[in-house]
Structure 1
């Protein structure tokens, strides 16, 4: 759309300039989207392994309760699906389904600080 607007002497709108899919015809985008989806699918198992290993280390430091293991599993699932996460999400569903008052209901302050540090490590790598 953006190229067509320029070609016909029109001023492209901001949305057309910012949208990478606005160039060319939509049918040309399908192979690019398929390749991106394929790449995401092939990378996801590696992300899951890295996330799982890091949080397994966290849980191995002490005897973890069933609630702590479940809570950390929710974090692992979120990071695996999304690649990163803001620590503030720990106070939103699905995390509050396990800990309605927040993560400090499941772990003590020291562990919560370490947990947030691990989440931030993945955010910084993904960011």
Structure 2
């Protein structure tokens, strides 16, 4: 995660997001006939959150009719990320009413999500020799 951390040195949202979604094996987006896409500084992104409450709060702040929906890591990695890559859509991690999203390329997000899942499983089940 060093490239993301260096781009956002005082922002722990991405690190905390990865820890939570690795443990839960899923994340949250905003859905209404498709996953919400939004724009920040000219870049289209899909907002992603570690918790349902965070997704709902941000959705309310932008006044959308999209509702918080759970997404499994399998769906994100196998379905959404390839679509985002083909359409030049970034992942927008944990935007808040006060802060824009932590933007990350979908291919990097995929690798980080797999790493977070592996780390969570290691904590839960321990290392196998």
Fold-level similarity (TM above 0.5): no
Q: Normalising by structure 1, what TM-score?
A: 0.24
**Counting strand residues as a fraction of each chain, which structure ranks higher?**
2
State which structure, 1 or 2, has the greater radius of gyration over its C-alpha atoms.
Answer: 1
Task: State the structure with bigger RCO (CA 8 A, min sep 6), 1 or 2.
Answer: 2
Q: Normalising by structure 2, what TM-score?
A: 0.23
